Structures are given as C-alpha cells and as structure tokens.
C-alpha cells in the first residue's frame, strides 16, 4: 500500500526525520511507535501532504504520492479539529460533502456512523456540548465516512473510557477485515499488542526497527524462560537469574528466569530445574510490544 523511501525532513537547524524507509503492506494494521518528538507526527503530516519531505519519495499503491490519492486516505489527527458551535449532524454532513457526497448521501453516511459509534442521541447537539470522548468519536467518523483505502489514526483512543476504547477497537478490526490498511500511531502499547500485525519504531528522527511484530519478537527475544510451578522455585545454579516471581495467578507460581546463552541453552535450563522440582509449565519468554519498545529505545 505504502512505500516510504529515505524520507528526511529538516526545519532550519532541526532534523525531524532522517532517511526513514519502510513499507506498509496492504491489509495490515501498522503501528508507528516512538517517544514524543521522535518524528512520528512529522511523518504523518508528510503522508497527508501537509508537509513536503526535504528528500526521499513515497509511493501509494505503486504510484508516487500525489493529491489524487487524498480521496483514498482518512486521517484522525491527535489534535481536536471540530467547529464548536456547529451541531454534530451538520458537522458530519459538511465534511461528507467536502469528500464529494451529495446532501442526501452525506446525511445517510453520517447517521449510519453515529449509530455505529452509539452517538445518535447527540446528533443535534453542538460539538462544544460533548465530552472529550464523544468529540473523539466524531473525529473518528470524519476520518472514515468517505470509505478510505488507507486510514491514519494518531492517538485514536485519546479521551475514551475503556468501554468506548473497546468499541473503537472492534470497529478498527472490522474496517481492516474489509480491506482497509491502517497506520496506527499511539503511546498505548497494550492497544498495539491487540491490533498491530506490523510496527515501525522511530527514535530521535531515525528508524530503528520495522517489520512483522512476530518476527521482531523472535529477533529481539532475550534469553529468558517462563516457568510455572506449584511452589516457589528453588535455584541451585548461580548462573540463572530471577527476573520476577508471581504467585497471584491461580494457585501456582509463575517465574521469569534469565540464563546466560554463552554457557546454557533452553534444554539445559529445563534439566537443571526439573532435577529439583516438578515443572508444570516451561516455555521461552516472549516479550510484549511494550518491553520490546523499551529494550530497543534504551539500546539506541
């Protein structure tokens, strides 16, 4: 869907992006991760043709990105962008008409989405009367009501309570199942874990890793083991290191251990532990996206 090739962006003496390259496969939900100021928003604005890159190229569906592609892109910005005094329904109809719909179709689209996000009862209220979470859902509708092929979501769960966040997650998954490719920028690593098949991490204006989440986890998995036992684990080998122990899960104890890969392997660790106690569960510890993020940021 999108090929980003050596994109750089400079603002006078500040480098916002430096030779960033990665590809977003069609049909994927792609997480764009990074600390504040890393360059994520700059890249998103370049994709939306708000900024011109200082160098590099972007291809959209095999063609050089141009203004004709705007009709196929939806964008939910992090910042609020609503007209405070306008009623919700009128607001959505106006934006649908900007996207090329006639008044009748614009109203049909607006009402469909208001019902879908459970906001039909506020359609005649002014946007300034809505809560932050309701406003966020209105902005989400504005990003999707023209049925884009490519959807950019920048902190889409901002202001949403857990119930409405789950509602939005379900809608995002549904859109993706219908073929919409989604770029998802957030600091909420738990949402990335739930939604994203691919991620790219930008740190200090540079790309440090990108690809399938499963492949990145395999590449950067530390030499750690998850062990479940009936009682607290006893370590008789000083080379093994406790990372954590948790007895709050049912009636068993879950322990995370780290082993030195230069002198031990997965099978050796099991044999050492099994000599002294019954092992209920033993598996390689796979880090979460959050753990990967901190690990990679701290190492760069």
78-115 residue pLDDT tens: 877 788 888 999 989 998 998 888 999 999 999 999 99
- Residues 70-75, mean pLDDT to the nearest whole number: 91
Spatial separation of the C-alpha atoms in residues 94 and 100, rounded to whole Å? 10
Closest CA to 131 of 143, 119, 141, 120: 119
**Which CATH architecture is the domain 2-217 placed in?**
3-Layer(aba) Sandwich (3.40)
47-59 residue pLDDT tens: 999 989 999 999 9
Spatial separation of the C-alpha atoms in residues 131 and 62, rounded to whole Å? 41
Name the 3-class secondary structure at 247: coil
- Residues 206-234, mean pLDDT to the nearest whole number: 85
| Residues contacting 202, CB < 8 A, separation 6+ | 17, 20, 32, 33, 34, 38, 39, 40, 43, 208
56-69 residue pLDDT tens: 999 998 899 988 88
Where are the domains positioned within the chain? 2-217, 223-284
- What is the pLDDT of the chain when averaged over all its residues? 88
How would you class 3 by CB atoms within 10 Å of its CB: exposed for 0-12, middle for 13-18, buried for 19 or more? middle
Which DSSP category does 36 fall into? Answer: T
Alpha helices, H only, the chain: 40-47, 88-98, 103-116, 132-144, 162-177, 189-195, 213-220, 266-274, 289-298
Strand order in the sheet with 73-76: 73-76, 150-154, 181-185, 29-33, 198-203, 206-212
Is 70 exceeded by the pLDDT of residue 249? Answer: no
Is 90 exceeded by the pLDDT of residue 260? Answer: no
Query: pLDDT-derived band of residue 35, with 50, 70 and 90 as boundaries?
Result: confident
169-192 residue pLDDT tens: 999 999 999 999 999 888 888 888
On whether the pTM is more than 0.75, the answer is yes
Closest CA to 256 of 276, 275, 240, 280: 240
């Amino acid at each position: 869907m999108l090929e980003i090739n050596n994109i750089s962006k400079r603002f006078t003496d500040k480098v916002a992006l430096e030779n960033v390259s990665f590809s977003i496969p069609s049909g994927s939900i792609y997480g764009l991760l990074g600390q504040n100021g890393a360059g994520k928003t700059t890249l998103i604005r370049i994709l939306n043709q708000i900024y011109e890159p200082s160098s590099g190229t972007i291809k959209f569906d095999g063609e050089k990105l141009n203004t004709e592609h705007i009709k196929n892109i939806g964008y939910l910005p992090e910042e609020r962008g609503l007209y405070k005094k306008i009623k919700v329904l009128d607001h959505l109809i106006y934006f649908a008409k900007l996207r090329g719909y006639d008044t009748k179709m614009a109203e049909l689209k607006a009402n469909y989405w208001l019902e879908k996000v459970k906001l039909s009862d506020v359609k005649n209220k002014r946007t300034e009367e809505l809560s932050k979470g309701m406003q966020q859902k209105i902005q989400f509708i504005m990003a999707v009501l023209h049925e884009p092929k490519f959807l950019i979501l920048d902190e889409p769960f901002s202001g949403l309570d857990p119930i409405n966040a789950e509602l939005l997650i379900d809608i995002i998954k549904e859109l993706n199942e219908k073929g919409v490719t989604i770029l998802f920028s957030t600091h909420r690593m738990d949402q990335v874990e739930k939604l994203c098949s691919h991620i790219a991490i930008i740190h200090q204006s540079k790309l440090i890793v990108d690809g399938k989440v499963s492949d990145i986890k395999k590449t950067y998995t530390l030499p750690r083991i998850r062990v479940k036992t009936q009682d607290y684990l006893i370590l008789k080998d000083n080379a093994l290191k406790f990372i954590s122990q948790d007895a709050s899960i049912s009636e068993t104890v879950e322990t995370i251990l780290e082993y030195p890969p230069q002198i031990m392997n997965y099978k050796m660790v099991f044999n050492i532990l099994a000599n002294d106690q019954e092992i209920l569960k033993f598996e390689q510890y796979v880090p979460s996206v959050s753990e990967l993020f901190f690990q990679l940021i701290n190492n760069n």
